[in-house]
Amino acid sequence: MPVPAPIWPAGYRLAPFATADLPALHDLLTLGYGLGGSHVPPFKDWRAALLADSDFDPALVFVVRGTGDAVAAICLCWSSAFIKDLVVHPSARRQGLGEALLRQAFTTFAARGADAVDLKVELDNPTGARRLYERAGMKEVA
């Protein structure tokens, strides 16, 4: 079944990832995970672990920029067709960025030959992530 192409809301664009983006990505992850009751390791540790991971592929880091070139959302995926992190800044939520990022990941992995994409989410995640994933057609597995 073909995956619908991402639709980027007005005022937002998919931007190429650069290692210079890592501090902004870490800040957004820290904010997003903090709202969900979790945490992200300090930047130096997080950066080292990310760049050393054998599943890390810079082509699978999807960065969405908004007004003033600020990072509004990110989707960090592993080469194993796994969505590691998807975070939308609170000020940019409910505009379709999460769905657009999921579609970007789905189409990218489909082009690479993957027949499924996986992720993990806490059952009690308060951000609405589970509803987003269900709307995108993802199914819960044990």
| Whole-angstrom distance, CA of residue 99 vs CA of residue 61 | 15
Local confidence band at 138 (pLDDT 50, 70, 90 cut-offs): low
Tokens standing for 138?
């993802």
| Domain count within the chain | 1
Local confidence band at 133 (pLDDT 50, 70, 90 cut-offs): low
Specify if 140 maps to a domain. Answer: no
pTM (predicted TM-score): 0.85
Specify if 32 maps to a domain. Answer: yes
User: What's 106's domain CATH number?
Assistant: 3.40.630.30
Quote the strand ranges of 10-112, DSSP E. Answer: 13-15, 56-65, 71-78, 82-88
The parent domain of residue 62 ranges over 13-135
Specify if 4 maps to a domain. Answer: no
pLDDT > 80? residue 115: yes
The per-residue pLDDT for range 6-19, each reduced to its tens digit, is 889 999 999 999 99
Specify if 117 maps to a domain. Answer: yes
Which pLDDT score is estimated for 127? 60
pLDDT > 60? residue 125: no
